[in-house]
Amino acid sequence: MSNVDHEKIEKAVTMILEAIGEDPNREGLIDTPKRVARMYEEVFQGLNQDPTEHFATVFGEDHEELVLVKDIPFYSTCEHHLVPFFGKAHIGYIPRGGKVTGLSKLARAVEAVTRRPQLQERITSTIANAIVEKLEPLGVIVVVEAEHMCMTMRGVKKPGSKTVTSAVRGAFEKSAAARAEVLSLIKE
Ligand SMILES: Nc1nc2c(ncn2[C@@H]2O[C@H](COP(=O)(O)OP(=O)(O)OP(=O)(O)O)[C@@H](O)[C@H]2O)c(=O)[nH]1
Ligand SMILES: [Zn+2]
Does 78 belong to an annotated binding site? yes
Q: Indicate which ligand has the atom closest to the C-alpha of 82.
A: 2
Q: Indicate which ligand has the atom closest to the C-alpha of 84.
A: 2
The pLDDT of residue 164 is above 70 = yes
For atom 3 of ligand 1, the residue with the nearest CA is 119
Active site residues: 78-81, 120, 148, 150
pLDDT of residue 141: 98
Q: How much distance in Å is there from the Cα of 52 to the middle of ligand 2?
A: 26
The pLDDT of residue 23 is above 70 = yes
ipTM attached to this prediction: 0.89
Q: Which domains does the chain have, with CATH numbers?
A: 6-43 (1.10.286.10), 53-187 (3.30.1130.10)
CA distances from residue 9 to 4, 35, 40, 68, 75 in whole angstroms, order as listed: 8, 10, 9, 39, 21
Average pLDDT over residues 39-65: 93
Render pLDDT for 72-126 as a digit per residue (tens, 0 to 9).
Answer: 999 999 999 999 999 999 999 999 999 999 999 999 999 999 999 999 999 999 9
Does 63 belong to an annotated binding site? no
The helix/strand/coil state of 171 is helix
pLDDT of residue 74: 98
Q: How much distance in Å is there from the Cα of 72 to the middle of ligand 2?
A: 21
pTM of this structure: 0.94
Q: Which atom of ligand 1 is closest in space to residue 119's alpha carbon?
A: 31
Mean per-residue pLDDT of the chain: 96
For atom 16 of ligand 1, the residue with the nearest CA is 80
pLDDT of residue 58: 87
Does 54 belong to an annotated binding site? no
- pLDDT bin (cut points 50, 70, 90) of residue 57 is confident
The pLDDT of residue 1 is above 70 = no
Q: How much distance in Å is there from the Cα of 87 to the middle of ligand 2?
A: 15
Nearest to 7 by CA among 27, 28, 33, 29: 33
